[in-house]
Amino acid sequence: MVLFIIGKKIIPFTKAFNDYRTGTKKKEYRARKHVCVACPMRSSCLGKSAQEKKFSVTYYREEYERNNARVHSPQGRYMKGKRQSTVEPVFGTLTQFMGLRKINTIGLKQANKVMHLSAIAYNLKKYLRFTQKRVKSGAGIQALAVLLKRRLYHFERWYLSTLKKLNYLPI
């Protein structure tokens, strides 16, 4: 039997049910008025003519409380700060500046494609800003030129040796 504790008062669990308004799974707790005889909150909780106290909470209350404790722990606060500084600004930029306030597709697969394309666009814009900053110094262009020259030289040597092996070039 699962119990609900309010202050020093213990209220027993009666049944689990689906809420007809929201369709969510809930637990119902009931306490007869004789359970509340010594309770100082009896008049505000039960009223004058009520015979029992009945209330319901979500079926997953323990999980909610465990998650709440985890989020409010020092590590949870640290992780929230990290998430706010890395992930959430991206979504803010996508929604505010890149027109991703609404995804007008049908199905999860298509919505996933839209998110991937918008992430690619965001990363390309970020990459272009990064490379433009580095190009101004000139060191990046020189390093790229040296790298391309080496690659071209090695490719040329490989290509010529392959042609010689296949007897396409006179020796």
Residues 30-89 pLDDT 10s: 877 777 777 767 777 777 777 777 778 888 888 999 999 999 999 999 999 988 888 888
Domain positions in the chain: 3-60, 137-171
Mean pLDDT of the chain: 80
Instruction: Find, among 53, 22, 48, 55, the residue nearest to 36 by Cα.
Output: 53
Residues 81-102: b if buried by 16+ CB within 10 A, e if exposed = eeeeeeeeeeeeebeeeeebee
d(CA 115, CA 117): 5
Alpha carbon separation from 132 to 38, 106, 126, 129, 137 (Å, rounded): 75, 38, 10, 5, 9
pTM: 0.45
